[in-house]
Every structure is written in structure tokens, then in C-alpha cells.
Structure 1
Amino acid sequence: MLKVDRASLVLGLGIGGFLDGIVIHQLLGWHHMLSGWYPDDPHVNMIGDGLFHLLCLALVVVGVVLLNRSGGTRPGRVLWGGVVAGWGVFNLVEGTLNHLALGVHHVRSGQAELAYDLGFLALGAALVMAGIAIGRVSGPRSTPVRPPAP
């Protein structure tokens, strides 16, 4: 049986965005959030990256709230499968919209930018498939144990 929940997916979206921003924007310096539109304005790009990270933080907080409201009663595989799948969904949406459709930025501008953008999308698809595989739960459906009402 496949079970992926909203909380896990939202957490994965936020975590995937953070990984993108930390690794590609900051550590590798391949692009910034608005570098396709404002290539020579480091101040605008810094603000764009900051707003992007604020959105990622909001997604993580919403994911934690959803997880808390659900009682946190899910198998670890379901949680981590959803997080990995959410990261993949982040890559697919961000790559399609920002890289290909709007040209806000590319993964790595230059001679092979389309290859990098398509690789980012392929990674997203692989993460979604891996998340689904991780989140598969075998056996009979179990009823979550809830604490007794006060």
C-alpha cells in the first residue's frame, strides 16, 4: 500500500528548497533566485534569495504544524518517503517554472544550461519515485494509537 501524507510532502517541499538554496545558491554559487532577470545586481539577488529562504522556512513550519496536528502517528517510512517525494516535487515545480518557463534563473548559466536544467528535473522525478518507493507500507492497515482523552 502507498501512503504519503500532506505533512510529509510540505516538509519535503521546504527541505528541498533549503537544500537548493544552500547548495546551489550559496555553496556552489551557480545562481541566485533572480540572477536570470538581474544578473548584475547582487543586492536584488540577495533579497531574492532571502525571500526564497523565508518561503522555505514557512513551508517547513507548516509541515511541522500539520505533522503535529495529525498526532505524528505514521510509520517512519511514510514520513521520510513523503519528505523525499516533496523534495522531488519542489525540483519539478521550481525547475519547470523558474528555469524553463519564466527564465528567472537557470541551474547553471552558460553553454550547457539546458542540460543542467533538465538534469535538475530528472533529479526531481527520481526523488519523487524514490519517495514513493520509500513510503510504501506493506501489511495490513494499522490504526494509529491515540492517547486517551482527558
Structure 2
Amino acid sequence: MIAALVLGVGIGGFLDGIVAHQLLGWHHMLSGWYPREDMRLMMVGDGLFHLLCLVFVLVGVALLNRRAPLPDRVLLGGILAGWGVFNLVEGVVDHQILGIHHVRPGPDQLAYDLAFLASGAVLLVIGSLFARRARG
């Protein structure tokens, strides 16, 4: 289950970076600390973030390869739970404590940040229930 969680953290980070950073352009990894006009710095920050996500995915895959295959529901549940862990940790540490960036800066910034945290809690609960039901 740890392998699936680690994999989920990496996948969740990739999805956040691809959707919020690149497709929607709501923020960049360092946009809360530095002016968004410095696109070189924004790109480097996003690139380092994606590199960290890749490390999590590779570690998760390596851990999966060191054990007997997980049942599909346990794997999927672990990935969803890991994605939820990513959202919760990133939402608390990066958005609230450090202020590195917010989900979508502006007048509704807190609502977007809280929705991101809520999505993390929902993913964690659903993933845990899914994996637990599969194991039980």
C-alpha cells in the first residue's frame, strides 16, 4: 500500500502542475513569493516541482516492483489516497503556511485554497475506503 501512496503523491503533483500551472495558468510554483512577470523563474520553479513529482512516481514504481502485485482496487485506492495526501500537504504547507502560491490568487483565493484542501480530504477518504474494502 505504501508504494501506491507514494505513486499517488507523484501523480497528484503532476496533475496539479499540469492543470493549475500549465493549462489554466492560475499560478506557478513560486508565484506567491516572486512577481509572475519573471517567467524564467516561474518556469524553473515549476520544473523543479515536476522533477520532484517524477522522483515520487519513480520511487512508487520501484516499490511496486519489489513486491507481489497489488490487487487493482488496492492500487487504485492507494493512488487516490496518495493524491489526497499530496493535496492536503501542499495545501497546508505551500498555500497556507509558506504562501509559496495559492490555487487561484484573487478575491476568492481562500475559497479556492479551501476547496483544494477539501478535495484532498475527499480523495484520501475515498481512496482509503476503496483500498480497505478491497483488502477486507
Q: TM-score range by the shorter chain?
A: over 0.9
| 1:75 shift after superposition | 1.1
Q: Which runs of 5+ in 2 are unaligned?
A: none
Number of residue pairs matched? 135
Which residue in 1 is equivalent to 2:77?
A: 81
Runs of 5+ unmatched residues, structure 1: 141-150
Between the aligned partners of 1:59 and 1:131, the Cα distance in structure 2 is 18
CA distance in 1: counterparts of 2:125 and 2:9, whole angstroms: 15
Measure the CA separation in 2 of the matches of 1:139 and 1:112.
Answer: 41
Alignment of 1:126-141 (within 5 A): 126-137=122-133
Structure-2 residue corresponding to 1:57? 54
SS for the counterpart of 1:35 is coil
TM-score by length of 2: 0.96
Which of the numbers 42, 46, 66 marks the counterpart of 2:43?
46
The residue number in structure 2 matching 1:8 is: 4
Measure how far apart 1:136 and its partner are: 2.1
Write the mapping of 1:43-122 to structure 2, written as runs, cut at 5 A: 43-72=40-69, 74-122=70-118
> Which runs of 4 or more aligned residues in structure 1 lie more than 4 Å from their structure 2 counterparts after TM superposition?
none
Once the two structures are TM-superposed, the CA of residue 137 in structure 1 deviates from its matched residue by: 3.4
Larger Rg: 1
Listed one character per residue, the Cα deviations across residues 115-144 of structure 1 (whole Å, up to 9, x for unaligned) are 10000000000000110121123577xxxx
Instruction: Give the aligned CA root-mean-square deviation in angstroms.
Output: 1.2
